[in-house]
Amino acid sequence: MSERTLLVSLNSGPIGTLRDENGIWSFKYDSAWLNDQQHFGLSPSLPLQHAPLLDLSSKRPVQWYFDNLLPEEHQRRLLAGDARIDVADSFGLLGYYGAESAGSLTLLAPDAQNQIEEALLPLSDVELNERILALPRVPLTHGAKKRMSLAGAQHKLAVVLQDGALFEPAGATPSTHIIKPDHPDADYPHSAVNEWFVMRLAKRAGLNVPDVHRRYVPAPVYIIDRFDRVRDARGWQRRHVIDACQLLGLDRSFKYSQGSMASLAALADQCRGNIAARTRLFSWLVFNVLVGNTDAHLKNLSFLVSEEGVELAPHYDILSTACYETLAYDKKSWPNLTEMAWPILGKQFIADVDRALLIEAADALNIRKATAERLLDNLCNHIMGKAEEIYKEFEAENASLKQRADLAPILAGESRCLRTIIHVVIKEVAAKLKQR
């Protein structure tokens, strides 16, 4: 009989025990957690109970939930290779990288050294640049003191940004920021500034998003504040967060195929204050269309979970993927062949999305037509002005950065990328969505 065990904790307090017995996963809540007045179930598919939660042959809520903590696709293969663990061994990867996972949970083997000490290890721009240059052969986490896993398909590193300096967390220290360099694939140039710009625009347009930053080491780096961290008298604490796949009890492989207006409505139904959740999800949907974010799948929506219930978390991972399908990048897909992550009421291509379709989508979320019209007008009528405003700020910041000779070609390419987002993607879509 083969059995493996991991202890699951939140802010050093025990939550429960995760087991893999001959390929069947189970999870049992710790009695201390069950007796805690501020307890909550990790997700609706893992409800609080004294008896172990056991996976079945066809329905595996335990494995699906914890597997969603790991990165996807190429990133998972990189981490598996670096750890010398079979890429299909999700339990082994969780055990190896569980000291800092996506969200709040820490997963450690029972015999692992107790992580009491907290420490910050300086991460110089030189070292970070060397790691970026080593991509995609080795992951950004290679050589890090703390083994960590972040969900998603892009290269990421969990860090602490403090007084302008970067640090890597060690021991029990939680990370406070996530950094992403440019995508190594030549088909997605300048992705760091792309995401920085679009996220800044999202905040200016009224969406709830974390603060974001850009840095040059000299390789461009995008930095985002972690919304699942909060500071109190004890220091930085982790907040429990789950993505939409975890909230709906889905395996990560369904992040595209299960995307739909019905899924958005089901997610809103899980939230306390579901009326506000519905309007926020509708604004998120419209904004993604406006900026050409064609990768807005279910794992790019997250939810904060506490004893008070479930609430929609700030938005993240919003960038203009559509800009890379335009003539500016020698492509001819835009807009007629530019596909969204999932069809909106049967419409797969951005060219097929118009105002009437989005009003119909709002109705699927039980949003009144007058409210949908107001939300649409607020976004469509002001987004170009706000985008041009942020671009001017970008150029003003670049005035001093251009003094660095190594940055001149990078900044020129970034400017071209942002102009394409503004004057091709946003301008065309906003004009179309204004038409009644």
Q: pLDDT of 234-268, one tens digit each?
A: 888 899 999 999 999 999 899 999 999 999 999 99
- Per-residue pLDDT at 312: 98
Least confident of 103-117, 137-151, 152-166, 395-409: 137-151
Who wins on pLDDT, 134 or 202?
202
- Per-residue pLDDT at 145: 61
- Per-residue pLDDT at 1: 45
Local confidence band at 119 (pLDDT 50, 70, 90 cut-offs)? confident
| Overall average pLDDT of the 364-371 stretch | 98
Show the domains of the chain with their CATH numbers.
249-436 (1.10.1070)
Question: pLDDT over 90 for what percent of the chain?
Answer: 77
Residue 308 confidence (pLDDT) above 80: yes
Who wins on pLDDT, 205 or 74?
205
For residue 407, how many C-alpha atoms fall within 13 Å in the half-sphere facing its CB?
Answer: 18
Least confident of 105-109, 294-298, 342-346, 347-351: 105-109
- Per-residue pLDDT at 146: 58
- Per-residue pLDDT at 113: 55
Candidates 172, 175, 194, 174; CA nearest to 183 is 194
Local confidence band at 143 (pLDDT 50, 70, 90 cut-offs)? low
Local confidence band at 142 (pLDDT 50, 70, 90 cut-offs)? confident
Q: What 8-state DSSP symbol labels residue 252?
A: G
Neighbours of 51 (CB within 10 A): 8
Distances (CA, A) of 386 to 200, 378, 416: 10, 12, 18
Over its C-alpha atoms, the chain yields an Rg (Å, rounded) of 22
Local confidence band at 195 (pLDDT 50, 70, 90 cut-offs)? very high
Who wins on pLDDT, 247 or 12?
247
Q: pLDDT of 375-395, one tens digit each?
A: 999 999 999 999 999 999 999
Who wins on pLDDT, 31 or 147?
31
- Per-residue pLDDT at 136: 81
| Overall average pLDDT of the 258-283 stretch | 97
3-class DSSP string for 121-137: EECCHHHHHHHHHHCCC
β-strands 165-171, 157-162 pairing: antiparallel
- Per-residue pLDDT at 356: 98
Residue length of the chain: 436
Q: What is the C-alpha separation between 428 and 436, in angstroms, rounded? A: 15
- Asked if residue 363 lies in contact with residue 352, where contact means CB atoms within 8 angstroms, the answer is no
Question: What angle, rounded to 10 degrees, do the helices at 408-420 and 191-204 form?
Answer: 50
Residue 218 confidence (pLDDT) above 90: yes
Q: pLDDT of 151-185, one tens digit each?
A: 655 788 999 999 999 999 987 788 999 999 999 88
Q: pLDDT of 65-105, one tens digit each?
A: 999 998 877 778 888 888 889 989 999 999 988 877 767 89
Q: What is the C-alpha separation between 103 and 246, in angstroms, rounded? A: 12
- Per-residue pLDDT at 78: 82
- Per-residue pLDDT at 19: 98
Who wins on pLDDT, 68 or 313?
313
Q: What is the C-alpha separation between 291 and 201, in angstroms, rounded? A: 9
